[in-house]
A and B are shown apart, each in its own frame.
Chain A
Amino acid sequence: MDALVAGLTVFVLAVFVGWEVITKIPPLLHTPLMSGSNAMSGITLIGALTLAGASEDHLSGWVTFLGTLAVIFATINVVGGFGVTHRMLGMFVRKK
């Protein structure tokens, strides 16, 4: 139960931090915010890596299979998300 409470503490505090920071983002940048935060939610990749890379004895093949699939999807998220956000933000320029 301790781990759950510790996790919840982190979760709730992070939501508050996110709330404070993100409410200050102007509508102008809401699309890059979405694609950028998409890339961040690709953080499940690090969980996927531990599964796809698990090498214990008697490991079920399912773990590797599910893990590898997850690595693929999460990587699309990370690469696609950061990539397209970068491309998009490059278009926002000031008047010369």
Chain B
Amino acid sequence: MSSATINLIYLVAAVMFILALKGLTHPRTAVRANLTAAVGMLIAIIVTLSMAGISLMWIIVGIVIGSIIGAVMAIRTPMTGMPQMVALLNGFGGIASVLVAGGALVMELGGAEIPTSQFLIATAVSGLIGAVTFTGSLVAFGKLQGLISGQSILLPARQLTNASLFIVAVLLSAWMVRSPDSSEWILLLLTIVSLVLGVLLVLPIGGADMPVVIALLNSYSGLAAAATGFVLENNMLIIAGSLVGASGIILTQIMCKAMNRSLTNVLFGVMDAGGGGSVPQDDIYAGKVKSTSPEEVAMLFDTARRVVIVPGYGMAVSQAQHSVRDLANLLGERGIEVEFGIHPVAGRMPGHMNVLLAEADVPYDQLKDLDDINPTFAQTDVVIVIGANDVVNPLARTDPNSPIAGMPILDVDKAGTVVVVKRSLSPGFAGIPNPLFAADNALMMFGDGQAAMRELVAAVKES
């Protein structure tokens, strides 16, 4: 095939990717969209293999090993493990770009001509972004999987260290362009520096900020692929890479907005834990917190016409989604309107709660996002908050000095009665007390999420 034909077919594949993203705008068309993208990928692969002078031996080895690992991951990973899996896939995308850029450089140096500046710059960028993505994602994976502490791990002078490492990386890139003859060794050095940088960048970031980090690393994995596209002068890589880059940036932006924090603040700032807020915890809670029992809550449902369930990361931790679904179905059978209010940063990755509830067979038309659900709370009789804290904290609206001031929250306090299912009164990630727990219309149902939900389901069945 001529290179023109090959590039034309790549164009077809790229268009299929764009159509796939378009199809992802609605759950009805999403399955087909994903298949469209997969077929586009397959076309691009087959065309590449049909190029002259390709020997298949090592390709087959690589594809077989990769397919087995990929298939096992795709089939075995439970939906609760989705954040980890996405983190891992981001990392693999990053390292693949580094390896391709490195291999291309070695190949180019073995040829007759000296690599061009464009080639060297693109290789350096690909090595830098790809390596940061790789180790950054591995650290994120470790945190999500519980292999390393999910808390912020703060190293002394980390800002200075990171800035120095970044400057070293830029200088190495410049050196690469200046001395093409030894560029492979400089690239190796650059990659090592970037691998360290990736670890240091993600280590300080705490669990609840993970949605931002995962989205950002997602974007990086795309940008690394695009940079590799510049190395190989391959438009298919550039287009696909920039689509993924854009997608990750959009999600990052949505996550930051949902926390009312800037990206810089998430990446380099530390939340003012403990000391945040102007009111001490005891003053807020003392004598005002009312605890309740499943039986009491079941009685509330007798007169309720509309119930909203607000899930948070705690629901995922206690695996309560199936019991939550049972409750929703039970209430639905009694003619009560049940909807779910889902905050954009609930959970550990964008859309985390939606996937968990979808897995538990909750129909997606019941899953409402912040903007849709908020106006309805005033007409809602009972809200059940399960495993969420900061995203329902009214201090975000009322206390301008609070660390979460201005963060868009779910206005559950406007509902008739708010039942909060929670182990204790301990603060959430922001480290501040939540006046909602002491509000007149709030009842605390203390206990493990799943156990409490089961008891509640049993109580509703009996009533």
Contact = CB atoms under 8 A, between A and B. Distances in A.
Q: How large is the interface on A (under 10, 10 to 19, 20 to 34, 35 or more residues)?
A: 35 or more
A11 to B, nearest CB: 5
Contact of A30 (B35, B229, B251, B359): B251
Given A40-B222, A53-B59, 19 more contacts: A3-B118, A14-B246, A31-B350, A32-B351, A34-B214, A34-B350, A38-B244, A40-B243, A51-B104, A53-B56, A59-B107, A60-B106, A66-B106, A72-B69, A75-B66, A75-B70, A80-B70, A83-B71, A84-B77
B82 A64 contact: no
A12 to B, nearest CB: 8
Contacts of B246: 14-15, 18-19, 22
A47 B349 contact: no
A88 B241 contact: no
B354 interface: yes
B300 to A, nearest CB: 24
Top-7 shortest CB links A-B: A75-B66, A83-B74, A71-B62, A79-B70, A30-B351, A18-B246, A66-B103
Contact of B110 (A27, A37, A48, A59): A59
Given A3-B118, A37-B247, A67-B99, A77 B349 contact: no
Given A55-B55, A87-B75, A73 B237 contact: no
Contacts of B75: 83, 87
21 contacts: A10-B238, A10-B242, A17-B18, A18-B21, A27-B254, A29-B27, A30-B254, A30-B349, A32-B351, A33-B21, A37-B244, A40-B37, A40-B240, A44-B224, A46-B44, A55-B55, A59-B110, A66-B103, A80-B69, A86-B74, A88-B82
Contacts of B364: 28, 92-94
Contact of B89 (A56, A69, A76): A76
Contacts of B243: 14-15, 17-18, 22, 37, 40
Interface string B111-148: 00000001000000000000000000000000000000
Q: Tell me whether chain A's interface is mostly helix, strand or loop, or mixed.
A: helix
B3 interface: no
Contacts of A12: 242
Interface string B85-113: 11001101101110110111011001000
A79 B92 CA distance: 12
A93 to B, nearest CB: 6
Contact of A92 (B21, B27, B73, B100): B27
A71 B53 CA distance: 17
Given A35-B89, A66-B102, A25 B21 contact: yes
Contacts of B254: 27, 30
A76 to B, nearest CB: 4
B236 A46 contact: yes
A78 B58 contact: no
A39 B238 contact: no
B99 A48 contact: yes
Given A18-B246, A55-B53, A36 B20 contact: yes
A91 B41 contact: no
Q: Tell me whether chain B's interface is mostly helix, strand or loop, or mixed.
A: helix
Nearest to B20: A36
A80 B73 contact: yes
A66 B99 CA distance: 6
A92 B365 CA distance: 9
B235 A10 contact: yes
A71 B66 contact: yes
Contacts of A38: 86, 89-90, 93, 218, 221, 244
B410 interface: no
B162 interface: no
A74 B92 contact: yes
Contact of B237 (A33, A47, A84): A47
A27 B351 contact: yes
Contacts of B66: 71-76, 78-79
Contacts of B69: 72, 76, 80
A69 to B, nearest CB: 5
B106 A62 contact: yes
Contact of A73 (B41, B86, B92): B92
B361 interface: yes
Interface string B346-372: 000111101100110101111101000
